[in-house]
Amino acid sequence: MGKRVPDPAFAALAAIRHWSDKSQLVRFAIARNGFRDTDGGFGITYPEDLDEHDREVEARRIQEGFVLAYGFWGSPLGYEVLVPEWLYRDVLAEVFECLGMWREAASVRVPEGWLGSG
């Protein structure tokens, strides 16, 4: 049986929390690259992170404008949650603000009306 699926904001926060070098998350978000920690299998996957095997063999899809937040290495034993990209970046900006990383927060903060690239 899999883990209980958290709400999207909490899933994003859990992934962010498990990444040790928070400053790297700025580059990842701006470049729209995902990440995964090796301790608990928490991470973020962007649509562009899926390779041909993911798309063709495993039939995995992430809708444009969303990221996949997961914990405990995702399904089947963990959880996976689709999170609107703007929400992920907003949670990320709030984490940076809580850490006093104001410049980093401003660089990932989503402008009003932004729906992601694509």
The residues spanned by each domain of the chain are 8-108
Instruction: Give whole-number Cα distances, 76 to 9, 16, 19, 55, 98, in Å.
Output: 21, 21, 22, 18, 33
Task: Measure the CA–CA gap between 87 and 57, rounded to whole angstroms.
Answer: 29
Residue-by-residue pLDDT tens, the chain, 118 positions: 455 778 999 999 999 999 999 999 999 999 999 999 988 899 999 999 998 888 888 888 899 999 999 999 888 788 999 999 999 999 999 999 999 999 999 999 877 655 555 4
Q: Look at the pTM and tell me if it is higher than 0.75.
A: yes
